[in-house]
Amino acid sequence: MKLNERGLLVVISGPSGVGKGTVRRALFQMPHHDLVYSVSMTTRPPRPGEVEGVDYYFVDKETFLQRIKENKFLEWAEFVGNYYGTPRDKVDEQLDKGKEVVLEIEVEGALQVRKQMKEAVFIFLVPPGKKALYERLVSRGTESIDLINRRMKKAESEFLLAHKYDYIVVNDDVNNAADRIMAIIRAEHAKTERTIHNYIKMIGEK
Amino acid sequence: MKLNERGLLVVISGPSGVGKGTVRRALFQMPHHDLVYSVSMTTRPPRPGEVEGVDYYFVDKETFLQRIKENKFLEWAEFVGNYYGTPRDKVDEQLDKGKEVVLEIEVEGALQVRKQMKEAVFIFLVPPGKKALYERLVSRGTESIDLINRRMKKAESEFLLAHKYDYIVVNDDVNNAADRIMAIIRAEHAKTERTIHNYIKMIGEK
């Protein structure tokens, strides 16, 4: 029996290179969940095989800029000439259906969302230490030492933003981290501020 | 990896007859937990088979009253001439060891603890409706209709104290309720306010 029927917006963020994507994928592979992934809107043209509404919502620049004006994004950013954003209406639609909408996002975007949506749950995913992060970046094997050092520098400034989040989850093991996030989602649904309304209704009935 | 090493004081409370004891027992039967039960102190003489430090800490009335004066109880009450209380030092000892100390307690006592220990987690266990509570009280088969009606009346005033708790958990199914409580414990350990101290230490290390 669910006292909170509305889904949660779950924002998974954290320093560059911490493994947000890996943890998010592990989360979606867990049994019995009601998670959906938040699909971004973009002005970037679709790549072969990309499906409208699954990979992205594809729109032209004019539409995107108009939506920015109308405050229809929870967050947005421009990246090498293209716009990317999280459409508020699509997120709301899923939350109303009782789905947990998962947003995996960089620190800067997460803090934009925080301003727009107080009731979302903000999770800061962190490595079990700086050394672990460095090793993870190196082991990818795809980036130059110079780029890795720049990423580490960026991560170090992002490390200091943890206090802006509701929860800190250590990504020591990907399944552990996913388990903890699932526990956070269950617990948040039981929070008094989210349940009291329906609880009062329930005890009012004969 | 645990960023919060101190255990949690988990207060499970709720209206009379909701099934606190049953849920607590289900909780302790779950695998891989670090739960300990808070042992009360009492002036009541031990019954045959009761073990000091396991069932109760048995003390004389003078000791008990002295401890009240020294603010050494998280809560206490007198019941048919005997005193019962939750000794603060014993709870702290377990929390320091990283144990989650579970306190299963009536509403009045829980609200006393709330004043003494802000960092504890307060869970309000509720029946899935008034009718369900009534049926549960009747099905016990041990109480007169008159007593059941008095219990229902007490429960109705206790129902209104839900907003003083952090979480509301519906006892629709005992294992469900225990699962939710376990999720709450895991989530609370990840809360930023409990983890930030060790997190800052962790990222400060090379």
Contact A20, A165 (CB under 8 A): no
Predicted pLDDT of residue B206: 61
Supply the pLDDT for residue A206.
61
- Across the interface, of B128, B162, B203, the residue whose CB is closest to A159 is B203
Residue whose token pair is 């004891």? B21
Contact yes or no for B183 and A186 at CB 8 A: yes
Q: CB distance from B135 to chain A under 8 Å?
A: no
pLDDT tens profile B116-133: 999 999 999 999 988 888
Residues of A forming the annotated binding site for ATP?
14-21
Q: How far apart are CA A72 and CA A83, in angstroms?
A: 14
Q: How far is A129 from chain B (nearest CA, A)?
A: 6
What residue of B is the nearest CA neighbor of A201?
A: B129
Residue with tokens 């019995």: A32
Picking from B175, B189, B192, B200 by the largest number of A CB atoms within 10 A of its own CB, the best residue to mutate is B192
d(CA B90, CA B38): 8
Which residue in the set B162, B182, B190 is minimally distant from A180, CB to CB?
B190
How many CB atoms lie under 10 A from the CB of residue B92?
A: 16
* A62 close contact with B: CB closer than 8 A: no
Under-70 pLDDT residues of chain A? 206
Residue A158: count other Cβ atoms within 10 Å of its Cβ. Answer: 20
State the Cα–Cα distance between residues B3 and B172, nearest whole angstrom.
33
Predicted confidence (pLDDT) per residue in B4-26, tens digit: 999 999 999 999 889 999 999 99
Domain that holds residue A110: 9-38+99-204
Show the tokens assigned to A74. Answer: 């929870």
Q: Pick from B131, B187, B202: which is nearest to A184 by CB?
A: B187
User: How many Å lie between the alpha carbon of B130 and the closest alpha carbon of chain A?
Assistant: 6
Predicted confidence at residue A136, as pLDDT, reads: 86
- Residue B63 belongs to some domain of the structure: no
> In this structure, is residue B104 part of a structural domain?
yes
The SS3 of residue A115 is: helix
Cβ contacts of B202 on chain A, cutoff 8 Å:
126, 128-129
Within 8 A of B177 by CB-CB distance, chain A residues are none
Q: What angle do CA A80, A36, A154 make, to 5 degrees?
A: 40
Q: Which residues of A are annotated as a binding site?
A: 14-21
* pLDDT in the model for residue A48: 93
Q: What is the pLDDT of residue A2?
A: 80
Give the burial class of B136: count Cβ atoms within 10 A of its Cβ; 0-12 exposed, 13-18 middle, 19 or more buried.
middle
Residue with tokens 């990222």: B203
pLDDT for B136 equals 86
**Assigned domain for B114 exists:** yes
Mind listing the pLDDT tens digit for each residue in B50-76?
999 999 999 999 999 999 999 999 999
Terminal Cα distance for chain A, rounded = 17
Q: What percent of chain A has pLDDT over 90?
A: 74
| Chain B residue closest in CA terms to A174 | B1
- Say yes or no to pLDDT of B187 above 80: yes
CATH number for position A133: 3.40.50.300
Check: CB of residue B102 under 8 Å from CB of residue B181: no
Question: Is B64 within a domain?
Answer: no
In a domain, A52, yes or no: no
Residues with Cβ within 8 Å of A163's Cβ and at least 6 positions away in sequence, in order, are B192, B196
Task: State the average pLDDT for chain B.
Answer: 93
Q: In this structure, is residue A43 part of a structural domain?
A: no
CB–CB contact A186 B184 (8 Å): yes
Within an 8 Å CB–CB cutoff, is residue A130 touching chain B? Answer: yes
Q: Which residue has the higher pLDDT, B1 or A183?
A: A183
User: Is residue B2 pLDDT above 90, yes or no?
Assistant: no
CB contact under 8 A, A167 and B192: yes
Inside any domain, residue A77: no
Domain assignment present for A78? no
pLDDT tens figures, B132-156: 888 888 887 777 889 889 888 888 8
Reported as a single tens digit per residue, the pLDDT across A25-34 is 999 999 888 9
Helix H, strand E, coil C: the string for chain B is CCCCCCCCEEEEECCCCCCHHHHHHHHHCCCCCCEEECCCEECCCCCCCCCECCCEEECCHHHHHHHHHCCCEEEEEEECCEEEEEEHHHHHHHHHCCCEEEEECCHHHHHHHHHHCCCCEEEEEECCCHHHHHHHHHHHCCCCHHHHHHHHHHHHHHHCCHHHCCEEEECCCHHHHHHHHHHHHHHHHHEHHHHHHHHHHHHHCC
A 97-126 residues inside an 8 A Cβ radius of B: 123-124, 126
d(CA B101, CA B8): 6
Return the H-helix or E-strand segment holding A116. helix A107-116
pLDDT of residue B33: 87
Domain count, chain A: 1
Q: What is the CA radius of gyration of chain A?
A: 18
Verify whether the Cβ–Cβ distance B187 to A186 is below 8 Å. yes
Contacts of A129 in chain B (CB under 8 A): 202-203, 205
> Are A128 and B166 inside 8 Å of each other by CB?
no
